Amino acid sequence: MTNLRFGWHLHSFPVDGANATDFLAQNLHMLDYVQHHFESVWVDDHVMPWAQWQSNDTPYVECMTTIANLAGRYPTLKFGSSVLCQSYRNPGLLAKMAANLQWMTGGRFIFGIGAGWMIEEYQAYNWAYPKPSVRIAQLEETVELVRTLWTQAPASYEGQYYRIENAYCEPRPDPMPPILIGGGGEQLTLRVVAKYADIWNIPGGTLENYTRKLNVLRQHCEAVGRNYDEITKSWSCEAIALAPTEAEARQIAANSPYNNGAIVGTPPQVAEQLQKFVDVGLEYLIVRLIDFPRRNGLELFVNEVMPLL
């Protein structure tokens, strides 16, 4: 039987019009419960609203500073970035930030990173937005540079896009944070996953899509000489509408902006849908319950869905 691990996906913005103070209180209320039942908490890397139904003044958390704060508040939890956009921070500085988090949290940071996608955010913050193949090449160089800084002193790296020369990152992380690479691009991204990732993640999508990506990842592992089983396969279930009755669950989904592609139902129904992902190879499940800021769905998930998985 698979030893399934569980993470909770922090909400990056309020869904009920709450102000910043109330939104922080909502997340802390959830985390007070999460700390006793989940292994990890995952924080998105965006800095402004990404959905049309969000207003421009919606409070929005920043990934790394949020993790630093919450890791101090909740010392039993691991914290992962889901996922850092490699374009948003100088990769050398990012390596130092991650190493510092790993040191100060006592080894509780998971370094999740991806190539980035939200063009509106790039434009608003004046970040360069090259074509996908370039962003993925930059992602690969970032991972190589970060690993170099974490393992060598002084560290030098020369890539097409990024470089460091006689740089130090002390204290170097020991152990190194696990590297999670997010994305599902079959030609380029999954090849980077095969070469460097400790954990692979993709958000949302169907069972058929997840199964296909696993098969492609296996092929890339064979091509680069990597043991496929060394990579932990994770999945972010972006939306679960869970309630004691199916009618209540469907009402939750109907009232949520996350209703597209949601897993909806009673505990047995939700567990049955999630179990299919476990059966094809899922090892690390990251969930977001969409009745937030209520805690009903989360508690029901812990008490009645987790035991079934």
What is the DSSP code string of 95-111?
A: HHHHHHHHHHTTS-EEE
pLDDT at 127: 94
168-208 pLDDT tens trace: 999 999 999 999 999 999 999 999 999 999 999 999 999 99
Whether the predicted model's global pTM rises above the 0.85 cut: yes
Q: How far apart are CA 297 and CA 267, in angstroms?
A: 10
Q: Sort strands 155-158 and 163-167 into parallel, antiparallel or unpaired.
A: antiparallel
pLDDT at 53: 55
Sequence length of the chain is: 309
pLDDT at 54: 63
Task: Judge if the upstream peptide bond of residue 293 is cis by omega within 30 degrees of 0.
Answer: yes
**Residue 147: which residues within 8 A CB-CB, separation 6 or more?**
176, 179, 196
pLDDT at 259: 75
Q: How far apart are CA 64 and CA 219, in angstroms?
A: 33
- The parts of the chain modelled with pLDDT lower than 70 are 1-2, 50-56
pLDDT at 1: 45
**Residue 115: which residues within 8 A CB-CB, separation 6 or more?**
85, 86, 87, 132, 135, 136, 138, 139, 183, 185, 189
Q: Sort strands 78-81 and 109-114 into parallel, antiparallel or unpaired.
A: parallel
pLDDT at 2: 58
**Number of neighbours of residue 305 by Cβ within 10 angstroms:** 25
Contact 70, 41 (CB under 8 A): yes
240-257 pLDDT tens trace: 999 999 999 999 999 887
pLDDT at 260: 78
Q: How far apart are CA 89 and CA 39, in angstroms?
A: 27
Q: How far apart are CA 128 and CA 138, in angstroms?
A: 12
Right CATH for 5-308 from 3.10.20.30, 2.40.320.10, 3.20.20.30, 3.40.50.300:
3.20.20.30
